[in-house]
Amino acid sequence: MTRHPAREIQSFEAFLPREPGLAAHVRRVAALAAFVASRSGFSAPEVQAVGNSGLLHHLQAEVTGVPMAARLLADLGFPPQSFESSKVVPPDAAEIVAVWRGKRKPSSPHAAEFAAILDSANLFDEQMENLPYEDESTAESVNQLLDSGMLMPSFVRTIRSSWVVARRNVDTAANALPVFPKAAMEALRLARDPDAGRREIERALGKDPVLAGEIVMLANSGALGGSAAVNSLSGALMRVGTIAAANHIAAAAVRTCFASVKLHDLWEHSLQAAENAGALAGDSNSDAGEAYLAGLVHDIGRLAFELSDAALGVRQWEELGFPTIYAEMLSTGADHTELGADVLERWSFPESIVEAVRFHHRPELVTSKLAAVLYAVEDTNESLPSLARDHAAASRLEVEELPRARAAV
């Protein structure tokens, strides 16, 4: 994949908003605008001008010419001697912003088109920021905006241009994932059933010699401190305990999906999320075993992205400051939550876990405590920050403030 056009945008760090959220917004708008301008066939200087206008579009002064107002520089805290260097704002970017604001007429048809690209990029990013207040899924909200007629047609075409092929690649990767073992699923179900006995769990595990061997190995590990070696599954279950055995079965079954070395960090993230989810669920009077399993598989959709050709495109958007969910949506028109839920449905996972994984970045859309637990332990870099979403998740967990036991990756 070629270098992202946003890489050529000038920084203008001195003129970016001081509020972190707003600064992140203008950077994303700049990247979106530059991307669309580049794919629309404009020259490199024109693409740079459009991207620069995205960086500058939230300035509170009229940037209709060069040099910029000395008053603006003073408001930004610059010493008087810097006023002579105020020509850092190029006139082409200034004109685009001025046309976008309706402060001046475009000097050329291209200037009007550039202002329209800026407007579309700004509206698109604002829609992504407003998702916590929408009742639709992320994909539904994005497609509604793209179909609304509010965005310029070339912007819509460019954003959607790679979706079909990229989504097919991700779906192919998802379909190629190893199937979650039926014996493991049955053993986990029995482990959570208070009426089930150890012998029933033993019979279920006996159908999968590899998983049974994992439990025996765990029982004989130094961590459990047994003096005599255990040589039967029954003895191993007695020594390990039902809860610990269930967690180990889940981890062993899921681990096969993360066999590649490049997936090590994602696997470690999943393990940490599982531990945190189990602990948080226990604190909120929820099923800790179910939460542990949900934590292990909550990012199974990300695994499919990582194993597909779409991974590079997603990574490029992430490097430009786009959260994972946003980057996936731009690259494929879908995100890992929907994809992961679809995978778990094929694996016959309980509906409660499927729902939690589907909404673990949109807990405000469901009443599921488990979705709120997964949101609370998720890496904060995967979605745009939202106090409204935090509040919704906290209310599901019946706490005043959302616990921040996040699992970084």
Would you report the helix, strand and coil content of the chain in percent, each value rounded to 5? 70, 0, 30
d(CA 277, CA 269): 12
Q: What is the DSSP string of 204-256?
A: HHTT-HHHHHHHHHHHTSGGGT-SS---SHHHHHHHH-HHHHHHHHHHHHHHG
- Inter-CA distances, 143 with 135, 149, 154, Å: 14, 11, 15
Token output for 336? 């890992």
Residue pair 364/395 in contact by the 8 Å Cβ criterion? no
pLDDT for res 31? 96
d(CA 164, CA 128): 21
**Predicted pLDDT of residue 201:** 87
Number of Cβ within a 10 Å radius of residue 82:
15
Q: How confident is the prediction along the chain (409 residues), in pLDDT tens digits per residue?
A: 566 666 656 666 667 778 889 999 999 999 999 999 999 999 999 999 999 999 988 875 444 444 444 545 455 555 554 444 444 667 888 889 999 988 889 888 899 999 999 999 999 999 999 999 999 999 999 999 999 999 999 999 999 999 999 999 999 999 999 889 888 888 888 888 888 888 888 888 888 888 888 888 888 876 665 567 888 888 888 888 888 888 988 998 899 899 888 899 999 999 999 999 999 998 888 889 999 999 999 999 999 999 999 999 999 999 999 999 999 999 999 999 999 999 999 999 999 999 999 999 999 999 999 999 999 999 888 999 999 999 999 999 999 888 765 544 4
For the chain, residues classed under CATH 1.10.3210.10 are: 182-396
Using only C-alpha atoms, the chain has a radius of gyration, in whole angstroms, of 26
Q: How far is residue 137's CA from residue 266's CA, in Å, rounded to a whole number?
A: 24
Helices (H) and strands (E) in the chain, counts: 22, 0
CA distances from 376 to 19, 137, 284, 302 (A): 24, 19, 12, 18
Measured between its terminal Cα atoms, the distance across the chain in Å is 24
**Residue 313, SS3?**
helix
Sequence letter at residue 316: Q
CATH of 182-396, one of 1.20.1270.10, 1.10.3210.10, 3.30.1280.10, 3.40.830.10: 1.10.3210.10
CA distances in angstroms from 216 to 100, 246, 251, listed in the order given: 68, 13, 15
Distances (CA, A) of 186 to 13, 189, 206, 242, 373: 56, 5, 11, 13, 24
The CB density around residue 151, as the number of other CB atoms within 10 Å, is 21
Residue 149 CB-half CA count within 13 A:
0
What's the pLDDT at 84? 44
Cβ–Cβ under 8 Å, residues 58 and 12: no
Determine the Cα–Cα distance for residues 79 and 207; give it in Å rounded to an integer. 76
Asked whether the beta carbons of 281 and 373 are under 8 A apart, the reply is: yes
Q: Which two tokens stand for residue 204?
A: 């279920």
In which element (H, E) is residue 81 found? none
What pLDDT does 382 receive? 92
Closest CA to 12 of 100, 72, 71: 72
